[in-house]
Amino acid sequence: MAFIDYISEDEVPEADRVPDHDNILRVHGVHSRTMRQHFDLYRDLMYSRGPLTREQREMIAVVVSAANECHY
């Protein structure tokens, strides 16, 4: 498995900081605009209005993670 060093939150420009401290987001800190975009995409996919409920979206995410053998 690849390893990418995390940078401290203080090193991320304030405009790119996100209110989430999950490691999957922190790995984007080396390119902080990407971290902000990843977080914004997640929030839009999981919380915007649409044909699926939040619970259905979470269930799909769990199945996809399991199929991809994600360890997190």
Give the Cβ contact number of residue 39 at 10 Å.
Answer: 18
- Nearest CA among 51, 13, 43 for reference residue 29: 13
DSSP of 31-67, one letter per residue? GHHHHHHHHHHHHHHHHS-SSS-HHHHHHHHHHHHHH
Highest mean pLDDT among 5-19, 22-36, 55-69: 55-69
Segment 2-20, tens digit of pLDDT: 677 777 888 888 888 888 8
In one letter, which amino acid is 64? Answer: V
